[in-house]
Amino acid sequence: MTTDKAALRNLAIDVLKENDQGDYTIPTKGLYPFQWNWDSCLTALGQAHFDEARAWQEIETLFAHQWPDGMVPHIVFHVYSDGYFPGPDVWDTKRPTATSGITQPAVAGFAVKRLFERAKDRALAEEKARLLLPKIDKWHDWFYRNRDPRGEGLVAILHPWEAGRDNSVDWDEAFERVPTDGITPYTRRDTQHADPAHRPTKAQYDRYLWLVEKFRSLGWDNTRLHDASPLQVIDPGFNAILLRACADLAALAETLGETAIAAANRARAEKGIAALDALWSDSHGLYLCKDRTTGRLIDSASLGGMLPALADIPASRAAAIARTIERWSAKVKFIVPSQDPDDPRFEAKRYWRGPVWLVTNYMIADGLAANGESAVAEQIRGSSLDLITQSGFAEYYDPITAEPCGGGRFTWTAAMVLEFLA
């Protein structure tokens, strides 16, 4: 593929337009025929480079399906398709437009502030930011009420799909506690669209489904799910994204004169940043997950532990994360692999157990650049664009061979290219 910047930009815009359904964008044709939460928010950053109104629309559509309790679901099933499993019938959340019953990383606050700051159409930006501000605040409040019921300052994910890093090594240990008995027999669709060797295993899918059926049996009542779930993991990446979103929403609210929203989100961010430090691992040079059911840290060095670079962590921690990336980059050709390549559980092509993803590269690079680690940030950007020119707009890439993995013509990958090129 071309290395010419303008040509690459046009190719990325083509991918975004191809997957555009009018007022929301699907991640890729075939494999993912619906709207996904964090995909949409990151996609909007790309869309804003050529159509600001369309970018705002992407996030507005997502928030039109916010639940009355404040949760923003991880999938909105706008138009029926049997091409994806589990579809709306399995979730059975009884929403007016079908949605899943769990959430995803809270990128919206970060994305909306960035859209607002860069907007050329100031009137539109102010109108849309004012509209979205209370909705995002309600979602943040939902997180702390439902996923941090004892007020520790950090929230737990109850399902690996919530973290967005579905089969990460981070969940292996806690997944041991999730049973598989009694689940309804099912047929996977993902392995009909993508190479099964790049996807999660059957043992993992059985557990994904057991959790869905468990939460469904509780009527998707978020006040009951946390304590009933055998999987409660405090993921530093998930929390860091939320903490950055809280800080960004506070700043945006201040600009717009919404002082109560500003104060609430600033308080969430400050409390969470202080609590996050307990997850730091000196030996790995990154943050680790904590299993809330056992109270122990989980010994898995993944990129989830590097995402806190995006939040307001101490500069010494950000510098240590940059050094860890330098160490990892000596072991692979393209960065940032999703797992430490020296970890025996590392798998170069299997989804979130080794491959490089452009969205996480974008967030880590952004955080490191803001922390003065511009050389490593630039190295991540370079690696990302090299992968695109060698292998096209894939879902993820083998960090050793650059082989494109998962789905092709992938929306958020294209959106991140527009960001990296800007």
| Residues with active-site annotation | 166, 395
Asked if 166 is part of the footprint of ligand 9WN (rule: CB under 6 A), the reply reads yes
Q: Among 30-38, 41-49, 107-115, 146-154, which window interacts with ligand 9WN (CB under 6 A)?
A: 30-38
Comparing CB distances to ligand 9WN, the nearer of 39 and 398 is 39
Contact pick of 36, 116, 171, 334 for ligand 9WN (by CB under 6 A) = 36
Contact by Cβ (8 Å): 102, 74 = yes
Cα distance between residue 417 and residue 384, in whole Å: 8
What are the E-state strand segments in 141-243? 233-234
Asked if 91 is part of the footprint of ligand 9WN (rule: CB under 6 A), the reply reads no
Nearest to 286 by CA among 221, 338, 248, 228: 338
- How many residues in the shown chain lie near ligand 9WN by CB under 6 A? 10
Contact pick of 161, 210, 215, 420 for ligand 9WN (by CB under 6 A) = 161
Comparing CB distances to ligand 9WN, the nearer of 32 and 116 is 32
Where are the alpha helices (H) located in 229-290, listed in sequence order? 236-255, 259-276
**Burial 5-14, CB ≥16 within 10 A → b, else e:** eeebbebbbe
Asked if 366 is part of the footprint of ligand 9WN (rule: CB under 6 A), the reply reads no
Contact pick of 25, 39, 248, 391 for ligand 9WN (by CB under 6 A) = 39
Within 10 Å of residue 413's Cβ, how many Cβ atoms?
Answer: 33
Comparing CB distances to ligand 9WN, the nearer of 285 and 337 is 337
Asked if 347 is part of the footprint of ligand 9WN (rule: CB under 6 A), the reply reads no
Comparing CB distances to ligand 9WN, the nearer of 285 and 304 is 304
Cα distance between residue 362 and residue 417, in whole Å: 9
Burial class (CB in 10 A: 0-12, 13-18, 19+), 94: exposed
CB of 190 to ligand 9WN, least distance (A): 6
Question: Could you give the angle at the alpha carbon of 277 between the alpha carbons of 234 and 142, nearest 5°?
Answer: 40
Asked if 171 is part of the footprint of ligand 9WN (rule: CB under 6 A), the reply reads no
At 143, is the secondary structure helix, strand, or coil?
helix
Contact by Cβ (8 Å): 257, 179 = no
Asked if 27 is part of the footprint of ligand 9WN (rule: CB under 6 A), the reply reads yes
| Binding residues for ligand 9WN restricted to 188-227, rule: CB under 6 A | 190
CB of 194 to ligand 9WN, least distance (A): 9
**Interface residue list for ligand 9WN (CB under 6 A):** 27, 32, 36, 38-39, 74, 161, 164, 166, 190
